[in-house]
Structure 1
């Protein structure tokens, strides 16, 4: 059974149809790359999966559980939406770290907020805090940030901030890690730092959805590639099928522009 099933997803902003009948599946331990030109709906799709936007139609199913069904008109509570969101870890383009917290505190924040909802939190506060801190340190060490844990975001490079953001996204142990063009705000050297981390996560069979303009990276790391254009999926397949045996003319034109600009 796929870890993620997206069925006939539509999203409109007013009269503008941004997503049109999006359907795909993702297997556990696999990496899906979503490519396409700006405005094709890639970011909106991720925001719908992370419940930052509400689709107008369709279903989102994780581990066989229907997290969203537009046909179900019962209002979902904020608590239920927060619970559904835990299935997805989100890494944004612009880091979105809290400037008043250190790198370590940024990674610990969400697990601590979640822990406070536990009925035994007051009795086990010290133990729970130590466990969360230990896990956050492990994640930052995995990001090669051993010497930066007490630094604030303004003391970190863009690449370091994005690696903190990746550690933060992993802190709640999500089923699926989502990246929304994670290198678009970085220069080439810092881009390499972040891509190495994502490649390492792929080697560890982390389930991922990666929206990216790094075509060579997508071809190298992804198990499956989706090309979006005008809010629809116009081509999908293995990296070899999409990049080397392209059938759709819009995909060919997009990849041709990329090769000319690279």
Structure 2
């Protein structure tokens, strides 16, 4: 059974159709790279998966559980949607770290807020805090930031901030980790360190959806590549098929632009 099933997702903003009948699936441990020109709907798709936007139509399933059904109003209640977001972790283009918190505090914050909702939190407060703290230290160490955990975002490079953001997303142990152009806000010399972390996560069989303009990275790290154009999935398949033997002329034109520069 696929870990993620996306069926006939549609999304419009006023009279503009942004997503048009989007369907795909993802197996546990796989990586899908989503490529396409700006404005093709890639980021909107990620935002719909994370419930930052609500689709107008379609069905989303994770591990066989229906998280959203456009024909069932019960799946659109806000209280339920907050729980469903926990299936996904999202790493934004511009980090979105809280500037008033250290790297460590940024990674710990969401887990601590969730812990406070547990009925036994007061009785186990110290034990829970120590557990969350140890997890945050381990994640920052995994990101190569053990010596930066007490730094604030303004004291970190862009690449370091993005790695803190990845650690923060991993802290809630999501089923699927999503990246929205994770290197687009970085200087070229900092891009490599973030891509290296993502590649290591792929090697650890982390299930991921990556929206990216890094074509070589998309080809090398993904099990599946999706090419979006004008709100549609125009082409999808394994990297060799999409990059070396595309079926659609629009795909060939898009890839040719990147090959040429």
Alignment TM class, shorter chain as reference: over 0.9
What residue is the counterpart of 1:4 in the other structure? 4
CA deviations on 1:14-41 (whole Å, 9 max, x unpaired) are: 0000000000000000000000000000
CA deviations on 1:181-227 (whole Å, 9 max, x unpaired) are: 00000111110000000000000000000000000000000000000
Return the alpha-carbon distance in structure 2 between the equivalents of residues 132 and 245 of structure 1: 47
What residue is the counterpart of 1:58 in the other structure? 58
Post-superposition shift, 1:78?
A: 2.9
3-state DSSP class of the match of 2:191?
helix
1:111 is the counterpart of 2:111: yes
What residue is the counterpart of 1:196 in the other structure? 196
In structure 2, runs of 5+ residues without a counterpart are: none
Post-superposition shift, 1:110?
A: 0.2
What residue is the counterpart of 1:173 in the other structure? 173
What residue is the counterpart of 2:127 in the other structure? 127
What residue is the counterpart of 1:228 in the other structure? 228
Return the alpha-carbon distance in structure 2 between the equivalents of residues 110 and 78 of structure 1: 18
Post-superposition shift, 1:77?
A: 3.6
Question: What is the root-mean-square deviation in Å for CA atoms of aligned residues?
Answer: 0.7
TM-score (norm 2): 0.99
- 8 A Cα contact 2:5 2:61, kept in partner: yes
Post-superposition shift, 1:75?
A: 6.7
- 8 A Cα contact 2:226 2:237, kept in partner: yes
Count the aligned residue pairs. Answer: 261
TM-score (norm 1): 0.99
What residue is the counterpart of 2:155 in the other structure? 155
3-state DSSP class of the match of 1:79?
helix
Return the alpha-carbon distance in structure 2 between the equivalents of residues 25 and 74 of structure 1: 23
Return the alpha-carbon distance in structure 1 between the equivalents of residues 82 and 127 of structure 2: 24
Return the alpha-carbon distance in structure 2 between the equivalents of residues 35 and 162 of structure 1: 20
